Structure 1
Amino acid sequence: MSGSTTNKGVIVITGAGQRVGLHCALALQQQGYQLVVSYRTATPGIAALQQADVHCVRADFNQLTDIATFIEAMAAYPAIRAIIHNASSWQPDIPLPQQNEHSVLTQLQQDAAVFDHMHQIHAKVPYLLNRALLPKLLAAEDTADIIHLTDFVASVGSSKHQAYAASKAALENLTLSLARQLAPKVKVNAIAPALVMFNENDDEAYRIKALAKSLMAVEPGPDEVLQTVLYLLNSNYITGRSLPLDGGRHLKLP
């Protein structure tokens, strides 16, 4: 087994096959936590996690049966130190049709599919997992944590990703409700990033435009999220908050 042999408790991370989730899972494993992660598609990142003795559970969170399978995989763990809800899908709204391009029903079906998918992944799944795994959080030796990964747009909206932004806002509201319900045994917080890391296929023009949106004008990388996760795990007092990771972007809005 690679990494530290100290067992600081079990941390569950959803959507850990790549990017931020993968970085956090590997780092937390190295720091002595026991990691259980979900993934939908096998990736080189999942292979790396398995090599590091991380418990990886395949689950398509669009399916209740897969959600149940993921929850049942927790049976081996009597207590959970933290759940980090990182699973996400970034789907734009469908462009509005030209006059008479689609029937009213077709347009409604297309818009409903986007809205339902965004809220399924970003709001319903965290709601279901938190409720199902609450006894294991309450069984933690010390204070446990729920951490929701939301988004900068949850507080400002988005013209082209309205369903996405609304689903992340719903998750931030769940943060408030759970914090009120579960204190002082479980701290519940959100982390709301703007740009954290580019995709490989992002062109130079897009990168320049994206960097210019924040005061700091940098691509901070996934470690910025990890350090915020560690800050929340180590805190004895913060709950019911959404911590922005936006490089001052809120001050550069038009």
Structure 2
Amino acid sequence: MRALVTGAGRRLGFYLCQQLLALGWQVVGQYRREHEGLASLRAAGATLIQADFEREEEVRALAEQVVAGPLDLLIHNASAFEPGAPTLAGELAQFERFFRVHMQAPFLLNRLLAERLAASGRGSIIHLTDIYIHAPPPDLAAYVATKAGLHSLAMSAARELAPRVRVNTIEPGPILFLDEHGEAWRQQVLARTPLGREGGLAPIWQAVQLLMENDYMTGASLRVDGGRALATF
């Protein structure tokens, strides 16, 4: 069994690659920049390919390398995030980056790899979106709008590629705070999360496993957020 995981350089993507390798999967991981930890993935047998998702030609080159072999699973984990820009020009530049990473690259990969996934007999695509697509904060409009676009692409693909390929999404909540998140902000978020704690990466892997193993799920969205969405909507 062979999987492509995008955004494999760190955090969730890195973790998902580790879990798949531990189960004996052949793993192809896409990353944008070299990170120290990638050496351990290579040592464990992963094939790692550098590709900047802001560049269409690099997305196509990635697909050409992946399509050379079988493919059973595609996980769209790559993500771009930064605080809202203070000027309109900056906002437009952010929107372009977010669109390319969250929408254009997954759209291209789904198109270019669909036949390989269909040929596997158990092809599955999983899109990682965000719980805020349902209640977008004004200061993160470009980020959330393009994540919502990713969700829409997944639902369209679920209809288009059925019955040979299943397509589902996972909507993470406060799974793993960023280093720049201050303690006061973290406590504010957790106070509005019914389970009252940071989730960690394991719950996302458990959701991935469910979507991998349940062959009667397509067009589904799983919220893995500790109940955060209940307080957000």
TM-score relative to the length of structure 1: 0.88
| Structure 2 letter corresponding to 1:127 | F
Preserved CA contact (<8 Å) 2:63 2:112: yes
CA radius of gyration, larger in: 1
Preserved CA contact (<8 Å) 2:67 2:116: no
State the SS of the aligned residue for 2:232. Answer: coil
Question: Matches of 2:40 and 2:182 in 1, distance apart?
Answer: 28
- Tell me: CA distance 1:202–1:111, structure 2 relative to 1, closer, same or farther (3 Å): closer
Cα distance, 1:156 vs structure 2: 1.0
- From 211, 222, 237, give the equivalent of 2:190: 211
Determine if the alignment matches structure 1 residue 88 to structure 2 residue 67. Answer: no
Identity of aligned residues (%): 36
Determine if the alignment matches structure 1 residue 195 to structure 2 residue 187. Answer: no
State the SS of the aligned residue for 2:138. Answer: coil
Q: What is the aligned partner in structure 1 of residue 209 from structure 2?
A: 230
Q: What is the aligned partner in structure 2 of residue 151 from structure 1?
A: 130
| Structure 2 letter corresponding to 1:211 | L
State how 1:1-254 maps to structure 2 within 5 Å.
9-77=1-69, 79-95=70-86, 107=88, 109-140=89-120, 142-253=121-232
State the SS of the aligned residue for 2:175. Answer: coil
Cα distance, 1:145 vs structure 2: 0.4
TM-score relative to the length of structure 2: 0.96
State the SS of the aligned residue for 1:44. Answer: coil
- Structure 1 window deviating more from structure 2 (162-171 vs 41-50): it is 41-50
Preserved CA contact (<8 Å) 1:83 1:145: yes
| Structure 2 letter corresponding to 1:134 | A
Cα distance, 1:63 vs structure 2: 1.1
Preserved CA contact (<8 Å) 2:135 2:232: no
| Structure 1 letter corresponding to 2:213 | N
Aligned length: 233
Question: Matches of 2:150 and 2:211 in 1, distance apart?
Answer: 17
Preserved CA contact (<8 Å) 2:72 2:123: yes
Cα distance, 1:75 vs structure 2: 4.1
Which runs of 5 or more structure 1 residues have no equivalent in the other structure? Answer: 1-8, 97-106
CA RMSD of aligned residues (A): 1.3
Cα distance, 1:148 vs structure 2: 0.3
